[in-house]
Structure 1
Amino acid sequence: MIATVHFADVGTRKTLSALRIRPDGRVDGLRFGTTAFAADIGGAFIPKLTVSRLAFVGFWDDDSALETFQNTHPLAEILADGWQVRLEPIRATGTWPGLPDIVASDGPDTQSPAAVLTLGRLRNSQALRFRRFSMIAERHAKSATGLIWATAIARPPLVATFSLWESAADLREYAYAAGGHTQVLEADRAQPFHHHSAFVRFRPTKSIGHLTGPNPLAEDWVNGSR
Structure 2
Amino acid sequence: MKTYTVHLVKTSKFTAFKSLWSPPNPIDIRGMLNIECMRGMTLGAPLFSFQRILLQQLVVFIAWENSEAIDDFLENHSFGKLLSEGWYVRLALVRQWGSCYPYQNLDTEQQSYSSQDPIVALTLARMSLFQLPRFLHWGRPAEKLVRDDQTAPLAIAAIRLPKTIATFSVWKSLDDMLNMVHGKNAVDAPKRHADAMKERRRKNFYDEFTTLRFVPISEHGTWNGKHFFSI
TM-score normalised according to structure 1 size: 0.89
Residue in structure 2 matched with residue 133 of structure 1 by the alignment: 138
**CA drift at 1:56:** 0.9
**Range moving further from structure 2, 60-69 or 193-202:** 60-69
Measured on the aligned residues, the alpha-carbon RMSD in Å equals 1.9
CA 100–67 in structure 1, closer or farther in 2 if over 3 Å, else same: farther
CA contact (8 A) 1:113 1:222 kept: no
CA deviation map 1:177-217 (0-9, x unaligned): 16221111111111111111100111111111123x353x2
Inter-partner Cα distance in structure 2 for 1:202 and 1:186: 24
> For residue 72 of structure 1, what is the amino acid of its counterpart?
N
Matched, 1:195 2:207: yes
CA contact (8 A) 1:108 1:168 kept: no
> For residue 34 of structure 1, what is the amino acid of its counterpart?
E
CA deviation map 1:49-84 (0-9, x unaligned): 111112211011111222222232221111121110
> For residue 222 of structure 1, what is the amino acid of its counterpart?
S
Residue in structure 2 matched with residue 63 of structure 1 by the alignment: 67
Residue in structure 2 matched with residue 171 of structure 1 by the alignment: 177
**CA drift at 1:45:** 3.6
**CA drift at 1:98:** 4.5
Identical pairs, percent: 22
Matched, 1:113 2:143: no
CA 10–106 in structure 1, closer or farther in 2 if over 3 Å, else same: closer
Inter-partner Cα distance in structure 2 for 1:50 and 1:71: 26
CA deviation map 1:17-62 (0-9, x unaligned): 2223322433232221021111101253446111111221101111
> For residue 27 of structure 1, what is the amino acid of its counterpart?
I
Residue in structure 2 matched with residue 142 of structure 1 by the alignment: 147
**Structure 2: which 5+ runs fail to align?**
184-189
Aligned match for 1:151, one of 141, 148, 156: 156
Aligned match for 2:193, one of 171, 181, 199: 181
Inter-partner Cα distance in structure 1 for 2:57 and 2:144: 22
> For residue 29 of structure 2, what is the amino acid of its counterpart?
V
Inter-partner Cα distance in structure 2 for 1:196 and 1:186: 16
Q: Secondary structure of 2:70's match? A: helix
Q: Secondary structure of 1:19's match? A: helix
CA 33–102 in structure 1, closer or farther in 2 if over 3 Å, else same: closer
**Range moving further from structure 2, 7-16 or 164-173:** 7-16
Aligned residues: 219
Residue in structure 2 matched with residue 2 of structure 1 by the alignment: 3
**Structure 1: which 5+ runs fail to align?**
none
Matched, 1:91 2:95: yes
CA contact (8 A) 2:45 2:52 kept: no
